[in-house]
Chains A and B, each alone.
Chain A
Amino acid sequence: EVQLVESGGGLVKPGGSLRISCAASGFTFSAFSMNWFRQAPGKGLEWVAFISSTSSFIHYTDSVKGRFTISRDNAKNSLYLEMNSLRVEDTAVYYCAKDDPFSGPYPKWFDSWGQGTQVTVSS
């Protein structure tokens, strides 16, 4: 059974930093591209970042470019999101999700999701 478990969320002040993680199990992590999404309170879904299976292709939504870094450690079956210069508007539940096995250089669809981790940016 595919399992994705996010961790590392919390309360941080504006301008601060946080690293969230996603532990994967139940599938061959190194063969799949992965994504981060977020959902602000009462709002819709927003894609944040994509990383291909070997980290060769990485994409970000415009609002986080230069502030967030997606990375992965295939030996540890883990996905990460390093978030710097955090803003109040980054407050959201952050989800990791597994991509289609043949996604190539860009995302296709997201067939398994974690339960999410809350990131709150507030003074």
Chain B
Amino acid sequence: QSVLTQPPSVSAAPGQKVTMSCSGSSSNIGSNFVSWYQQFPRTAPKLLIYDADKRPSGIPDRFSGSKSGTSATLDITGLQSGDEAVYFCATWDSSLQVVLFGGGTKVTVL
């Protein structure tokens, strides 16, 4: 069981919006940088969002992140079939002195 809690799955029709959450605590999300990763089967993860709400170059603005208190959120708007993947949140935990990942959220495009 992950210390960062993500819903196992979310789904929506093409063109719609999905929102996924990542819930933690004051020692991790509440006081450290949050990042989000996209992973397709049998491939390496890809950085989507860093520092809670910033996008690396090349990441479409359909992907956006936010953070409030001890939770973070990833939104995907204008959903496309190519967005079907698993999305992981991650952050450092100052008390445990480890990087934590959420269990991952599988996005399904209906």
Contacts and interface: CB of A to CB of B under 8 A. Distances in A.
Contacts of B37: 45, 110
A45 B92 contact: no
Given A46-B101, A107-B99, A113 B44 contact: yes
Most buried by A among B88, B97, B103: B97
Contact of B99 (A50, A114, A115, A116): A50
A47 interface: yes
B56 interface: yes
Contacts of B97: 59, 106
* Interface residue SS majority, chain B: strand
Interface string A56-99: 00010110000000000000000000000000000000010000
A44 interface: yes
Contacts of B2: 44
B46 to A, nearest CB: 7
A46 B33 CA distance: 17
Contact of A109 (B43, B44, B47): B47
A68 B2 CA distance: 22
Interface in B21-50: 33, 35, 37, 39, 43-47, 50
Contact of A100 (B45, B46, B50): B50
Contacts of A47: 90, 98-101
Nearest to A95: B44
Interface residues of A, number: 22
Nearest to A108: B33
Given A107-B99, A111-B56, A44 B44 contact: no
B28 to A, nearest CB: 12
B92 A106 contact: yes
A113 B33 contact: no
Contacts of A100: 50
Interface of B: 2, 33, 35, 37, 39, 43-47, 50-51, 56, 88, 90, 92, 97-104
Given A44-B101, A61-B98, A114-B44, 5 more contacts: A35-B99, A45-B39, A113-B44, A113-B45, A116-B44
Interface of A: 35, 44-47, 50, 59, 61-62, 95, 100, 106-116
